[in-house]
């Protein structure tokens, strides 16, 4: 009897003890046991993947949800709720405004001073130029004989004095002249005009003896030309051209153009200029 009881207990214990990692199942249900094990494996593997994904997605959603909320809170903040500036901040703002004002006034003063300095420099330049011009050599012409008979007679001539009325000497003075009997309506000298040129330079000092230029007609005049000049139907036209330099400038010149008639002399409409 005892051996039967022990055998029954062992059989029960053997059936009840599970295999490690496999759930206990009745021996007669082999297919169900495999299906149960597969379901158990799925149950054991599922929690690992489910446990990680929801956490990362939740954190990502929270981050994206929090940023717009913070931005929205910053935009709709009411300025009346901001803390008021203290006395030091107001003093700093006042000092900054004062510095900007002082800088603006300083710039205006600098600009005004620059304009005045420019005007003063221009006035100084003009005064210096006026002083230099007052010291330049100045050539002036003074006819000594202006009667037509002085030219119409044989060996007749016209004397013209070239004087320096400036304050400094005139250097390298050269001259040339033209003379011709022409109609009263002067246009210009022709190629038939008497012409002479002096190339040897001279010096004319200020307020000193002038340089004398002798102008004469070398060609014989006809009786008709002489009568026309005496009756002022024609005239003897004369041009004198002088070049020189002074202490301040070079390339200076002076022109004299005049006509001699029976009733005196007149200036020509051209050849009366200087620099």
CATH of the domain at 162: 2.60.40
Tell me the pLDDT band of 129, cut-offs 50, 70 and 90: confident
pTM over 0.85: no
Do residues 136 and 249 touch, judged by C-beta distance below 8 A?
yes
What confidence score (pLDDT) does residue 148 get?
63
Domain boundary among 75, 109, 135: 135
Residues 179 and 108 occupy one common structural domain: no
Average pLDDT, the chain: 76
pLDDT tens per residue across span 174-187: 999 999 989 988 99
For residue 243, pLDDT over 60 is answered with yes
Nearest Cα neighbor of 139 from 106, 183, 185, 170 is 170
Mean pLDDT of 175-200: 91
**Whole domain around residue 98: which residue ranges?**
94-135
Residues 157 and 253 occupy one common structural domain: yes
For residue 270, pLDDT over 70 is answered with yes
Mean pLDDT of 233-244: 92
The answer to whether residue 28 sits within a structural domain is no
Written as six digits, the tokens of 260 are: 């001699």
Residues 201 and 258 occupy one common structural domain: yes
Dmax (CA) for the chain in angstroms is 198
Question: Which string of DSSP letters, residue by residue, matches 31-65?
Answer: HHHHHHHHHHHHHHHHHHHHHHHHHHHHHHHHHHH
Residues 246 and 126 occupy one common structural domain: no
Count of the separate structural domains present in the chain: 2
What confidence score (pLDDT) does residue 20 get?
47
What confidence score (pLDDT) does residue 225 get?
83
For residue 16, pLDDT over 70 is answered with no
Strands (DSSP E) along the chain, which ranges?
139-143, 158-164, 170-183, 194-204, 211-215, 234-245, 252-261, 264-267
Residues 187 and 217 occupy one common structural domain: yes
The answer to whether residue 253 sits within a structural domain is yes
Residues 98 and 160 occupy one common structural domain: no
Q: Whole-angstrom Cα distance, residue 255 to residue 206? A: 19
237 vs 10 pLDDT, higher one: 237
Domain boundary among 135, 163, 184: 135
Nearest Cα neighbor of 151 from 210, 198, 220, 212 is 220
Residues 241 and 189 occupy one common structural domain: yes
Q: What sign has the CA pseudo-torsion 225, 229, 230, 233?
A: positive
Residues 241 and 259 occupy one common structural domain: yes
The answer to whether residue 8 sits within a structural domain is no
The answer to whether residue 194 sits within a structural domain is yes
97 vs 226 pLDDT, higher one: 97
The answer to whether residue 72 sits within a structural domain is no
Q: What are phi and psi of 247, to 5 degrees?
A: -65, -25
Pairing of strands 264-267, 252-261: antiparallel
Residues 175 and 239 occupy one common structural domain: yes
Tell me the pLDDT band of 221, cut-offs 50, 70 and 90: confident
The answer to whether residue 37 sits within a structural domain is no
Residues 119 and 159 occupy one common structural domain: no
SS3 198: strand
Residues 157 and 257 occupy one common structural domain: yes
Do residues 174 and 198 touch, judged by C-beta distance below 8 A?
yes
The answer to whether residue 273 sits within a structural domain is no
Written as six digits, the tokens of 164 are: 């320096």
Residues 114 and 191 occupy one common structural domain: no
Mean pLDDT of 158-178: 92
For residue 95, pLDDT over 70 is answered with yes
């Amino acid at each position: 009897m005892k051996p039967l009881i022990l055998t029954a207990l062992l059989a029960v214990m053997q059936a009840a003890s599970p295999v490690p990692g496999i759930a206990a199942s009745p021996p007669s249900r082999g297919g169900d046991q495999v299906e149960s094990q597969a379901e158990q494996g799925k149950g054991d593997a599922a929690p690992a993947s489910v446990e990680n994904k929801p956490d990362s997605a939740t954190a990502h959603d929270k981050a994206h949800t929090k940023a717009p909320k913070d931005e929205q809170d910053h935009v709709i903040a009411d300025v009346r709720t901001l803390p008021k500036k203290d006395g030091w901040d107001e003093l700093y703002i006042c000092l900054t405004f004062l510095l900007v004002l002082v800088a603006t006034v300083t710039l205006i003063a600098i600009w005004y001073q620059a304009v005045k300095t420019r005007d003063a420099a221009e006035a100084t330049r003009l005064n210096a130029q006026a002083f230099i011009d007052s010291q330049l050599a100045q050539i002036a012409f003074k006819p000594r004989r202006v009667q037509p008979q002085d030219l119409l007679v044989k060996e007749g001539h016209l004397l013209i004095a070239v004087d320096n009325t400036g304050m400094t000497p005139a250097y390298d003075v050269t001259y040339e002249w033209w003379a011709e009997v022409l109609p009263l309506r002067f246009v210009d000298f022709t190629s038939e005009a008497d012409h002479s040129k002096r190339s040897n330079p001279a010096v004319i000092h200020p307020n000193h003896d002038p340089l004398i230029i002798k102008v004469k007609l070398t060609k014989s005049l006809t009786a008709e030309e002489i009568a026309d000049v005496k009756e002022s139907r024609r005239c003897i036209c004369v041009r004198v051209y002088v070049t020189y330099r002074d202490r301040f400038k070079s390339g200076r010149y002076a022109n004299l153009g005049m006509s001699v008639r029976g009733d005196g002399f007149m200036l020509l409409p051209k050849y009366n200029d200087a620099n």
